Amino acid sequence: MKSIFVQFSNSADSAVINYFGECVDPTQNPMAYPQDEAAWPNQSVVLSNDARYKAFYDTWSGMNMFYITPGT
């Protein structure tokens, strides 16, 4: 299981709508850390086995899936 920075559709955290990246060392992936909350509201961290993240992941297809952490 991996921890992933995401954006939810609302403050109730009901659905993931954006993927920022895995929670890793910021020197390896600085874009995966929290983004500007004014531009990207409702950010949080979920695990890769979270049903909301898996539902988001399952909407991706083809080459795009190469760039995001698989939902498990």
Q: Tell me: the pLDDT tens digits for 44-60?
A: 999 999 999 999 998 88
Distance between CA 66 and CA 72 in Å, rounded? 15
pLDDT of residue 27: 61
Low-confidence ranges of the chain (pLDDT < 70): 25-33, 62-66
The residue among 72, 70, 71, 68 whose CA lies nearest residue 32 is 68
Report the distance separating Cα 59 and Cα 44, nearest Å: 19
pLDDT at 65: 66
- Sketch the domain layout of the chain as residue ranges: 3-67
What whole-number distance in Å separates Cα of residue 36 and Cα of residue 69? 22
Both tokens of 13, joined, read 């955290």
